[in-house]
């Protein structure tokens, strides 16, 4: 650890990661046993990124997420119960059952949506950052996106405009090595997405996305810079998807080796971090066990809440398409 972080922060980082991991593991099971309809893109393996970045954000700060968005919402303060309810398509979900996994969001938490469109988030985050600057608030907007999205024109336009307007924006690239089922080497000639930052006139930083402290420290600098009015940063976090593109085992496509997966699992962000916390005495094994036990209890309760919740009434279908007019 480059500098001494307080036990409070270390414990919070750990808690955020465990909450994401356990939520995703259970969500994956619920999808595979047919309880959750549709498709889930799970964040298992990438927890250090959302956790390390969100540690610096308040509810006032905004984020845009990806199709793999549960982890971002959890790290931003999302409640398990309303999240599971949304995944179940229930009326009590964050989006009243209208968004589901791919559009899960909560405006009150500054979570401007998971997004079913690869590259959908960065222009929206840039717009939120523009709004923050226009309204002269000190809010920061963070766009999470993948290596795949870094090839979309929308990312390019958002990055250029954020740098041009010196917006309070951070672009966090979660490079998990695959754009869906296509390895990075087959979809872009650069090795480090962060190299592209130079083309926009912003700093580009590469960080180990399996190391929550490294992410935390790099994000701290980028967010400070954004908040100070010095413009955006492109922060690339190298990571890996432990589950498949969709679901847990996915569609059974052959595109990566078991050996590769096992190699990355040795670098599991949570396991490694727990070993360090035990070593330096921040947490005891008993305390770690308690974190899991509490999280599991909360998940159990949340799933029960989702199962007990009603589905939306058919009359609700046509609600929320438009906003009913209000006088300015």
Partner 1 sequence: MSEAKEQKPRKLPYVAAITEGVRQVLIEQENAFVAGEDVGQAGSVFGYYQGLFDEFGKDRIIDTPISEKGIIGLGVGASATGCRPILDLMFMDFIGECMDEIANQMAKMRFMFGGAATLPVTVLTMAGAGINLAAQHSQSLEAWLAHLPGVKVVMPSNAYDAKGLIIAAARDDNPVFVVLNKMSLALQAEVPEEMYEVPIGKAEIVREGKDMTILAIGRMVHEALAAVEPLKELGVDAEVIDVRSIQPFDTDTAIESLRKTHRGLIVHEAVRFGGFGGEIAAQLQELAFDYLDAPIARVGAPFSPVPFSPALEKVYLPNAEAIVAEVRKTLGI
Query: What single string gives the DSSP state of each residue in 230-262?
Result: S--EEEEEE---SS-SSSSSTT----S-HHHHH
Q: Rounded to the nearest 5 degrees, what angle is found at the Cα of 178, between the Cα atoms of 106 and 145?
A: 30
* Distance of closest approach, residue 116 Cβ to partner 1, in angstroms: 7
Query: Applying CB under 8 A, which residues contact partner 1?
Result: 62, 64, 93-99, 103, 105-108, 112-113, 115-117, 120, 122-132, 134-135, 141, 153-154, 157-158, 160-161, 164, 319-328
Nearer to partner 1, 14 or 72 (CB): 72
20 contacts 43 by C-beta, under 8 angstroms: yes
Nearer to partner 1, 126 or 270 (CB): 126
* Distance of closest approach, residue 124 Cβ to partner 1, in angstroms: 4
Q: CA nearest 103: which of 127, 85, 126, 86?
A: 86
41 contacts 101 by C-beta, under 8 angstroms: yes
| Distance of alpha carbon 52 from alpha carbon 16, whole angstroms | 9
Q: CA nearest 27: which of 45, 15, 43, 50?
A: 43
- Beta-carbon contacts of 154 under 8 Å, excluding residues fewer than 6 positions away, are 119, 120, 122, 123
* Distance of closest approach, residue 133 Cβ to partner 1, in angstroms: 9
* Distance of closest approach, residue 81 Cβ to partner 1, in angstroms: 15
| Distance of alpha carbon 65 from alpha carbon 115, whole angstroms | 6
Assigned token pair, 60 = 């006032």
* Distance of closest approach, residue 37 Cβ to partner 1, in angstroms: 16
Nearer to partner 1, 156 or 267 (CB): 156
Nearer to partner 1, 117 or 253 (CB): 117
Nearer to partner 1, 185 or 328 (CB): 328
| Distance of alpha carbon 201 from alpha carbon 196, whole angstroms | 9
* Distance of closest approach, residue 145 Cβ to partner 1, in angstroms: 13
Nearer to partner 1, 134 or 311 (CB): 134
């Amino acid at each position: 650890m480059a500098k001494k972080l307080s036990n409070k922060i270390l414990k919070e980082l750990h808690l955020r990661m465990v909450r994401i991991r356990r939520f995703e593991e259970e969500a994956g099971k619920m999808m595979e046993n047919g309880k959750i309809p549709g498709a889930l893109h799970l964040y298992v393996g990438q927890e250090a990124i959302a956790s390390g970045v969100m540690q610096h954000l308040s509810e006032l700060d905004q984020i845009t997420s990806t199709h793999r968005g549960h982890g971002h919402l959890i790290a931003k303060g999302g409640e398990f119960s309303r999240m599971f309810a949304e995944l179940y398509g229930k009326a009590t979900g964050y989006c009243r059952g209208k968004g589901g996994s791919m559009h899960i969001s909560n405006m009150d938490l500054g979570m401007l949506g998971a997004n079913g469109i690869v590259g959908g988030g960065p222009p929206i985050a840039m717009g939120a950052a523009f709004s923050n600057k226009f309204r002269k608030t000190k809010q920061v907007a963070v766009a999470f996106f993948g290596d795949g999205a870094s090839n979309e024109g929308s990312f390019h336009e958002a990055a250029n405009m954020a740098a041009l307007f010196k917006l309070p924006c951070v672009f966090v690239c979660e490079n998990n090595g695959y754009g869906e089922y296509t390895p990075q080497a087959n979809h872009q000639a650069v090795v480090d997405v962060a190299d592209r930052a130079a083309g926009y006139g912003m700093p580009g930083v590469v960080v180990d996305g399996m190391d929550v402290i490294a992410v935390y420290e790099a994000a701290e600098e980028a967010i400070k810079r954004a908040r100070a009015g010095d413009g955006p940063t492109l922060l690339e976090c190298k990571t890996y998807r432990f589950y498949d593109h969709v679901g847990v085992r996915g569609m059974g496509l052959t595109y990566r080796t078991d050996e590769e997966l096992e190699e990355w699992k040795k670098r599991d962000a949570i396991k490694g971090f727990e070993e360090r916390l035990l070593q330096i005495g921040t947490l005891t094994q008993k305390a770690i066990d308690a974190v899991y036990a509490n999280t599991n209890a909360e998940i159990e309760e949340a799933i029960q809440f989702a199962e007990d919740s009603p589905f939306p009434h058919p009359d609700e279908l046509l609600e929320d398409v438009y906003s009913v007019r209000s006088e300015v």
